[in-house]
Amino acid sequence: MKFPYSMLLDFVETSLSAEQAGDLLTMAGFELEGIENVNGEPVLDIKVMSNRGDGLSVFGLAREVLAKDSTAKPTELYLNACRRFHSESAPEISNTNPTTSSVQIQTSDCTRYAYRRYYNVQNGLSPSRIQERLSKAGMRPISLLVDLTNYVMLELGQPLHAFDFDKLEGGKIVVRKAAQGEKITTLDGQERELSPHMMMICDAVRPVAIAGVMGGADAEVSPETNSVLLESAHFVNTSVRKTRTALGMSSEASYRFERSVDPGGVVAALERFSQLLAEVPGSASPGETVDVYAGAATPRPIRLRIARSDLLLGMPISEEEALSYLTRLGFRASRTGQGEFEVVAPSWRPDVLREEDVIEELGRVHGYERIPEALPRGSTTLGGPAGYESWKDKVRENAVRLGFNQTISQTLRDLSPLDNPRLARIGPRGINDPEMMWLRNSTLSSLADASRRNGGKNLQLFEMGQIFGHHDGNVVEATSIGFLFQGSIQAESWNSKPPGGSTFFNLKGLIGELAYRTLDGVQFQVPDYLDSRLHPTRQAELLGGQDSIGILGQIDPDVAERAGMPEDTMLAEINLFRAYDHALTNVQVRPISKNPAVRPDIAFLIDKSVPFAKISETLSSAAGDLLEKSWLFDVYEGKGVPDGQHSLAIALQLRKLGGNLTDEEATQVRERVLQALAGLGATPRG
């Protein structure tokens, strides 16, 4: 905002030069962008932040100077502005409701509308002092009425607009939204088509101004104007911004309305206009004033603690200083206790909502330059994820180490044969693209898309992401990790046989290894409820205690055909929210033995109904610390094996820490294992 320095001196008695006043305003948060000498007078150009509409007036900036400069004194004009220019001789104001015959407000985007009538108007030239100051501020002098509205706006920040009353149909004002297809020709001569969201100032028939932006040509004042209706109003800033942006136009009025105008200063601007108009003899006779205002909203008191202020600012401010600063800025403050105040922000400061905002006011008036230099103090914590997020990263890292490649895809998608049948889908989402109308309820559908794009063979893919759905009447969101395994694990080689294709047991081994590295006490079992996406005899459920945390298996042939997938596709999906309840967090490590291992093998007959997980658990418990690892290397059914049983051969790798394992010790371990397995019904084979 540009203004000649003499206008600031009308409000403030100060010994500061223009440069010093500019520096003071900069330290108060209103940056001085430059000083230009125009016809022998310094003109200040001040940058005002978007939330500080109160700074878009000389009166508002004078308030800042008086708050920071203890030697400055307010002038009589400043004191009159603080009193809203109230005068006993001023015309009586009619406080009416929004349905009054002369003013009708039909939109909540207008919170206050006032006007004053003037008769016997002589709309000649404005006084030379007014014209000179407007020119120095970058505004073109036009006529007495227009110049005075601009001058009051520059002084007080409240835009005004003068209508030729004789050109208003029906002699009344209606504030409403535009009708579809309605048009108006603005003061710049441009015809503009309006939209229903735009707020208009209308007479009884048509729009005569775009509220808060620009007046219309149909009711423009001219040298022949005899009767004037002078508008002063308060509009919701977002409404004005939206209209101005849509029309691609800007004005000094819209610039201020967009940054908030003081609703309490609406009538004060009319009073100031009348004072200035009275200085021009014979220019007009003031008439009635109408003010349609439901009343200011009750401001919410804000608690201010001086101790909190000292902590945030890093410098002490006494209670007396705080009270003085707030009073000078127009805040109401009352002491409620030792070191505590109740503060109410003035009507021109809608940006002050909480204690930190009030403390910011104290800091900038006291002076940020007075904050003492000090080294940072306090404690810091190590960065990086923790808890669930850390464990989730561990799952991702181990999936990569097991040979899977990560994919990332959209959660919005089309329906798929691989959607989870247990989780009702959420959608459509109001999106025209059919491929993005539904929120996925399984990562397997996304992995199938990635597989098709990559040829559909010899792939190991996984995706970790969000899934959504309805279950038991509730909306469900969870993090899932899905796996897809097709073809061979290893690439073909000249010196080895072609690797075999993917099998259920390949997948089970990979998922089992992932579970071993990241989960505690989980196991596989035949599911009670078969998943229709998977082959009915080649699927398993991953359990953590009694909780189902995942499924795995070979794709069902019918589903494979509908999804365009090979029949050897292996799929798995784990719910990470549920799995985290069984996360492996306390990892135990032990030294590695330098001594050689011993491998005794065992073979035995056992009922097929006994889960291998139970066999493995029993074996490990019986072998004790000497067992390094074990693996199943042969399964036999047929001649010599009773019906309902099979023959299993398991290798035991034993190793002793700090010494060699003797044959006698290895034999003892082997016998303990066989004895323990006998408790499961196992019969040793020679």
Answer whether residue 661 is part of any domain.
yes
**Which residue type, as a one-letter code, is found at position 353?**
L
Categorize the per-residue pLDDT at 89 as very low, low, confident or very high, splitting at 50, 70 and 90: low
For 428-464, the three-class secondary structure string (H helix, E strand, C coil) is: CCCCCCHHHCEECCCCHHHHHHHHHHCCCCCEEEEEE
340 and 438 together in one domain: no
Angle at 161 between CA 159 and CA 163, to 5 degrees: 170
Q: The domain spanning residue 262 has which CATH number?
A: 3.50.40.10
| Nearest alpha-carbon partner for 365 in 334, 323, 337 | 323
Answer whether residue 97 is part of any domain.
yes
Phi, psi of 273 (to 5 degrees): -60, -45
Coil, strand, or helix at residue 686? coil
| Nearest alpha-carbon partner for 292 in 84, 107, 121 | 107
55 and 176 together in one domain: no
Answer whether residue 502 is part of any domain.
yes
pLDDT at 90 over 60: no
Mark which of 52, 79, 106 sits at the end of a domain. Answer: 79
Report the alpha-carbon distance of residue 30 to residue 49 in Å, rounded: 7
Report the alpha-carbon distance of residue 507 to residue 462 in Å, rounded: 12
Angle at 528 between CA 522 and CA 531, to 5 degrees: 95
Report the alpha-carbon distance of residue 638 to residue 535 in Å, rounded: 26
Categorize the per-residue pLDDT at 433 as very low, low, confident or very high, splitting at 50, 70 and 90: confident
Q: Over the stretch 466-492, which tens digit does the pLDDT of each residue have?
A: 999 988 888 989 999 999 999 887 767
Give per-residue burial for 150-176: e unless 16+ CB within 10 Å, then b: bbbbbbbbbbbbbbbbebbeeeebbbb
For the full predicted model, state whether its pTM sits above 0.85. no
For 479, other C-beta atoms within 10 Å of its C-beta total: 18
pLDDT at 100 over 70: no
Report the alpha-carbon distance of residue 477 to residue 265 in Å, rounded: 51
Report the alpha-carbon distance of residue 409 to residue 418 in Å, rounded: 15
Domain count, the chain: 5
Report the alpha-carbon distance of residue 411 to residue 446 in Å, rounded: 8
13 and 114 together in one domain: no
Half-sphere exposure of 47 (CA within 13 A, CB side): 9
Instruction: Name the residue range of residue 638's domain.
Output: 601-684
Q: Over the stretch 136-174, which tens digit does the pLDDT of each residue have?
A: 999 999 999 999 999 999 999 999 999 999 999 998 999
Answer whether residue 86 is part of any domain.
no
Answer whether residue 28 is part of any domain.
yes
pLDDT at 360 over 90: yes
Q: Over the stretch 592-606, which tens digit does the pLDDT of each residue have?
A: 888 999 999 999 999
Strand partners, 632: 650
342 and 410 together in one domain: no
14 and 109 together in one domain: no
395 and 497 together in one domain: yes
306 and 288 together in one domain: no
Answer whether residue 224 is part of any domain.
yes
Residue 653: the pLDDT is: 95
476 and 408 together in one domain: yes
Average pLDDT over residues 287-315: 92
Of 288-302, 400-414, 554-568, minimum mean pLDDT range: 288-302
Q: The domain spanning residue 354 has which CATH number?
A: 3.30.56.10
Answer whether residue 675 is part of any domain.
yes
553 and 676 together in one domain: no
pLDDT at 422 over 60: yes
Structure tokens at 181: 């297809």
648 and 550 together in one domain: no
Average pLDDT over residues 9-14: 97
Q: The domain spanning residue 678 has which CATH number?
A: 3.30.70.380
262 and 180 together in one domain: yes
Phi, psi of 370 (to 5 degrees): -90, 0
Answer whether residue 167 is part of any domain.
yes
Q: Is 361 exposed, middle or buried (0-12, 13-18, 19+ CB in 10 A)?
A: buried
358 and 214 together in one domain: no
